Amino acid sequence: MQLFIDTALIDQIRTAWSWGILDGVTTNPTHIANSGRDFEEVVREIFTIVDGPISVETISQDAETIIEEARAVAALHKNAVAKIGISVEGLKAVKVLSAEGIKTNVTLCFSPLQAFVAAKNGATYISPFINRKDVIGDDGMEMIRQIRHIYDNYGYTTKILAASIRTPRQVLDCLLAGADVATMPFDILQALYHHPMTDQGMEMFLNDWKRVPPTRLFDLKAAK
């Protein structure tokens, strides 16, 4: 499963990329607004940092204009993915863009049937929103499992990009459910590294090391 970061904050993206586990970035109008910077300037800088799929959202509601915006996104960089909301007009646009070889990320998915029609029209990615389903009493992870089952049954190649992730446990559940990608905020990506027992064990080892006689093996100055 690939790991994407869901943000437009350059410092977070640069830091996450330095860890070696990041595969891509998802952005949206909210993230761009929160960055406080010019839209195109932010997007172009992200392309210089991350060598992987970068989702950039279109904002129009009619197919013809969505297509024009998606073409403009695709022209920015070879890794650009046009992010398009699920609607009749949006999926009409996805059909045309797919035929042109333009990568699309169909977003705001809240049902397996929405994921099905997006795949039929050639979406590159489908973005089911997990946590937003959970907060209204529905089961976001069951949606992921159902989409995986449908795509496997019928051979759809659309990648499941699990979105609206708010806990490390949801990342684990995505792995177990067969999601192709999980996108998450910086703090959740960082939390994948941590466990309190690891911290306790490391503290114990470092304290015990103080009782070990000095060694030239770890003396970097002497090694030089």
Annotated catalytic residue 120: no
d(CA 91, CA 161): 17
Question: Which of 115, 64, 61, 52 minimizes the C-alpha distance to 84?
Answer: 61
For 185, counting Cβ atoms within 10 Å of its Cβ (0-12 exposed, 13-18 middle, 19+ buried), the class is middle
Residue among 83, 103, 133, 159 flagged as catalytic: 83
Catalytic residue numbers read 83
